[in-house]
Amino acid sequence: MEGIIGLEDGTILKGKGFGLEGWVAAEMCFNTSMTGYEEILTDPSYKGQVVALTCPEIGNTGINPEDEESDKPQVSGLVVRRLSRRASNWRQRETLDVYLRRHKIPAVQGIDTRALTRKLRIQGAMKGVLATNGMSGEEAVRRAREWPGLGAEDYVAQVTCKKPHEWDPEGMDFPGKLGSERIPMPKVRHRVAAIDCGMKRNILRLLRQEGIQPVVFPATAKAEEILQANVDGVFLSNGPGDPSVPTYVHETVRNLVGKKPIFGICLGHQMLAHALGGKTFKLKFGHRGGNQPVKDLRSGKVSITSQNHGYAVDPQSLPKGKVEVTHVNLNDGTCEGIQLKGGGAFSVQYHPEAAPGPHDAAYFFRQFSDLLDAGRS
């Protein structure tokens, strides 16, 4: 079947469709990672977005449930240069095409994804329509222009869990780096409230690997409910959409600051900034990939990081003398980390759990564990 992409600037791109026969309007973005397409597809932070992958061949390792970062694909659509129809990996359970059809996600192959990426880098993120149902290019452009954009919906409410729950039962294990090995869970030393704004599974795994038992709360949970759960700290997860929209999360975090140690990742970083009086702004085309250099301003150390966000914290909006910027992106100088002066709360814009990698920043989970130890003592 024919596949069409129509962008709000009038651009029309043609290829071949796969996955669902249908259409979707969403924000067009790109990811420069060379591996980990399954983790990208299932990252809830991509809700409301069509992702173009710059790696030229996608699908060659198939789909394996253990690599999913949530219980289904979260992207609105997928754009690739070339689809591997035959996957070749001993862990695969189905092909990418079958997987997307099963979950009703439309996709297009045969697109020059690097040219599309260049357009988005130069002109900025755009509204677009991906269609595999015979829609004309002109109709796709018209519908793209009519779509209201990411800021018009609360995507956090669409991906958060329904009710509080302990993440794993006693004795559960999880896959190791090679997939075939199993790593047993260590003894629980702390219980932490994990506010689920669209949390990736590997965050839960790495918290648990540090002896931290996540008690997952919906993003709508109130501070009083969390404090009554007798937890040692609070974790703020990644998630989708405009960080200024879920103001109920800002209020909850604001009422938790100073009462429990707090650690935030990605959207959680932005939620902490809003709770402390800061603001966020939309980036021209976002940071999405596994090659973003970030500098720790305290030590001078540079880490290569995995990132997926279209908004950033405005450092000038943070309260002077109360919050300090700890990390910056070396590509564009944007804020990548903050901490409450005197300790007690910190966050990073990038992904220390890095699924897909790299793993330079995984030490933050140990840092959070140390903060919980200090809080207890």
In order, the DSSP letters of 252-292 are HHHTTTTTS-EEEETHHHHHHHHHTT-EEEEEEEEEEEEEE
Report the SS3 class of residue 200. Answer: coil
Residues 6+ apart with CB under 8 A from 71: 42
| pLDDT of 172 | 53
| pLDDT of 174 | 59
Length of the chain: 377
Question: Do 239 and 346 lie in a common domain?
Answer: yes
pTM for this entry: 0.94
Question: Do 312 and 221 lie in a common domain?
Answer: yes
Confidence band, pLDDT 50/70/90 cuts, at residue 342: confident
Task: Provide the CATH number for the domain around residue 186.
Answer: 3.40.50.880
| pLDDT of 184 | 73
Question: Do 114 and 164 lie in a common domain?
Answer: no
In the listed set 108, 127, 147, which residue is the last one of a domain according to the structure?
Answer: 147
In the listed set 112, 147, 182, which residue is the last one of a domain according to the structure?
Answer: 147
**Average pLDDT of the residues in 312-333:** 97
Question: Do 187 and 256 lie in a common domain?
Answer: yes
Handedness of CA 186, 188, 189, 193 (dihedral sign): positive
Does 327 qualify as catalytic in the annotation?
Answer: no
Question: Do 180 and 137 lie in a common domain?
Answer: no
Question: Do 128 and 189 lie in a common domain?
Answer: no
Does 161 qualify as catalytic in the annotation?
Answer: no
The string of pLDDT tens digits covering residues 14-34 is 999 999 999 999 999 999 999
Question: Do 137 and 201 lie in a common domain?
Answer: no
Catalytic residue among 8, 27, 39, 353: 353
CB 305 within 8 A of CB 351: yes
Q: Is the pLDDT of residue 199 over 60?
A: yes
The string of pLDDT tens digits covering residues 241-256 is 999 999 999 999 999 9
The string of pLDDT tens digits covering residues 242-294 is 999 999 999 999 999 999 999 999 999 999 999 999 999 999 999 999 999 99
Question: Do 321 and 193 lie in a common domain?
Answer: yes
The string of pLDDT tens digits covering residues 143-198 is 999 999 999 999 999 999 999 999 875 545 555 555 556 667 788 999 999 999 99
Catalytic residue among 29, 197, 266, 335: 266
CB 256 within 8 A of CB 227: yes
Number of domains in the chain: 2
Question: Do 141 and 290 lie in a common domain?
Answer: no
CA distance 140 to 122: 22
Q: Is the pLDDT of residue 60 over 60?
A: yes
Q: Which of 68-72, 88-92, 306-310 has the lowest mean pLDDT?
A: 88-92
Question: Do 8 and 51 lie in a common domain?
Answer: yes
Q: What are the Cα distances from residue 123, in Å, to 12, 48, 150, 275, 308?
A: 15, 20, 17, 32, 19
In the listed set 147, 165, 191, which residue is the last one of a domain according to the structure?
Answer: 147
Question: Do 28 and 177 lie in a common domain?
Answer: no
Does 353 qualify as catalytic in the annotation?
Answer: yes
Task: Provide the CATH number for the domain around residue 41.
Answer: 3.50.30.20
CB 9 within 8 A of CB 123: yes
Average pLDDT of the chain to the nearest whole number: 94
Confidence band, pLDDT 50/70/90 cuts, at residue 359: confident
Q: What are the Cα distances from residue 239, in Å, to 7, 154, 359?
A: 25, 11, 20
Give the range of the structural domain holding residue 221, as residue numbers without chain letter.
Answer: 155-376
Confidence band, pLDDT 50/70/90 cuts, at residue 350: very high
Q: Which of 1-15, 90-104, 355-369 has the lowest mean pLDDT?
A: 355-369
Question: Do 11 and 67 lie in a common domain?
Answer: yes
Q: Starting at the edge strand that comes first in sequence, how are the strands of the sheet with 190-196 ordered?
A: 165-166, 212-218, 190-196, 233-236, 262-265, 345-348, 335-340, 323-329, 279-296, 302-314
